[in-house]
């Protein structure tokens, strides 16, 4: 089964999101996730995402970033997908701004699961046809369907 179908929901998928900076975008993402998962704690997730990003950019290149972290209050892996209205700098290796983000949160103790899911997500986003499909989506519903299409 397609990994995104297991960890992504329509409620955590946003097309043409606005974020003038990486930090503001993280704040938007965390609000989105916490609204959908009330057991999660805003400050905890934001702190973990920012701390992880300080270790090194999660920008992969080609306009893609996969911010990720382990979170104590997270009980199962979950993701959020955003396409951006305007690409933002993300300190990616190719110095290209990012316009597609997939955020991955996993339980604190899920070290190997974190790595396995991250590898699967990175593989998906390395496929040009997949990214073209996401970038072509004009609304959040279409973006979600485009991301999870292979699972149907």
Question: Annotated catalytic sites, by residue?
Answer: 68
Give the Cα separation of 149 and 152 in Å (integer): 6
Give the Cα separation of 128 and 44 in Å (integer): 34
Residue 149 DSSP code: G
Q: At what angle do helices 42-55 and 22-36 cross, to 10 degrees?
A: 140
Q: Which residues contact 140 (CB under 8 A, 6 or more apart)?
A: 10, 13, 14, 15
């Amino acid at each position: 089964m397609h990994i995104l179908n297991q960890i992504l929901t329509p409620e955590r998928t946003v097309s043409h999101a606005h974020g003038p900076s990486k930090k503001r975008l993280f704040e938007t993402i965390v609000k989105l996730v916490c609204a959908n998962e009330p057991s999660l704690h805003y400050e905890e997730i934001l702190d973990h995402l920012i701390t992880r990003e300080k270790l090194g950019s999660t920008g992969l290149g080609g306009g893609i970033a996969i911010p990720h972290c382990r979170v104590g209050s997270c009980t199962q892996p979950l993701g959020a997908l955003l396409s951006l209205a305007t690409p933002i700098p993300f300190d990616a290796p190719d110095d290209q701004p990012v316009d597609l983000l997939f955020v991955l949160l996993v339980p604190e103790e899920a070290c190997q699961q974190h790595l396995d899911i991250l590898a699967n997500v990175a593989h998906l986003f390395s496929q040009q046809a997949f990214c073209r499909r996401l970038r072509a989506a004009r609304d959040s519903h279409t973006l979600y369907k485009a991301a999870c299409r292979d699972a149907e």
